[in-house]
Amino acid sequence: MAQKINIVCVTGTREKLQMAAMFASVAAATGDEVTVFLSMNALTYFVKGRSAAAPAEGELGELLISEKGVPPFKTLFQQAVELGDAKLLPCSMALDLMKITKEDLDSELGPPTGLTRFLSDAEGGQLLTF
């Protein structure tokens, strides 16, 4: 049975972004209703023209970077959207802080979202935080 899965990404390290993207893509492709809320240092990788090379926290992150054949986290997030209708929502506060708008973000991102809206949409679902 389809579940509602909410994923909150706030940390900008390779391990956390990779794990969040893996959960998002697999859950969305399995028919779960997936919403990814992107804020703090996790959001910067979705700003147009910025590098997607998130730094490693430790040994596993180094392996994610050095091993060929690891799907990039942005590709997995895109697949979550394309194959499973996942929503990728940028935090409106983070956009304000960075003095940018939705137009400055990758096209697969949805509307800027505040916490009240996110919390009411997330009600009753699972919440995973990275």
Residues binding another protein (CB under 8 A)? 22, 25-26, 29-31, 67-71, 76, 79, 83
Cα 94 to Cα 58, 59, 68, 82, 107, distances in angstroms: 26, 29, 32, 25, 17
Query: Under a CB-based contact definition with an 8 Å cutoff, are residues 36 and 20 in contact?
Result: yes
Q: Least distance in Å: CB of 117 to another protein?
A: 29
Q: What is the DSSP letter of 63?
A: H
> In the complex with another protein, which residue's Cβ is closer, 83 or 119?
83
Q: Least distance in Å: CB of 21 to another protein?
A: 9
> In the complex with another protein, which residue's Cβ is closer, 59 or 123?
59
Tally Cβ neighbours within 10 Å of residue 109: 20
> In the complex with another protein, which residue's Cβ is closer, 23 or 118?
23
> What are phi and psi for residue 68, nearest 5 degrees?
-75, 155
Residue 6 burial by Cβ neighbours in a 10 Å radius (0-12, 13-18, 19+): buried
Q: Least distance in Å: CB of 102 to another protein?
A: 27
Q: State the Cα–Cα distance between residues 34 and 4, nearest whole angstrom.
A: 6
Q: Least distance in Å: CB of 105 to another protein?
A: 23
> In the complex with another protein, which residue's Cβ is closer, 83 or 98?
83
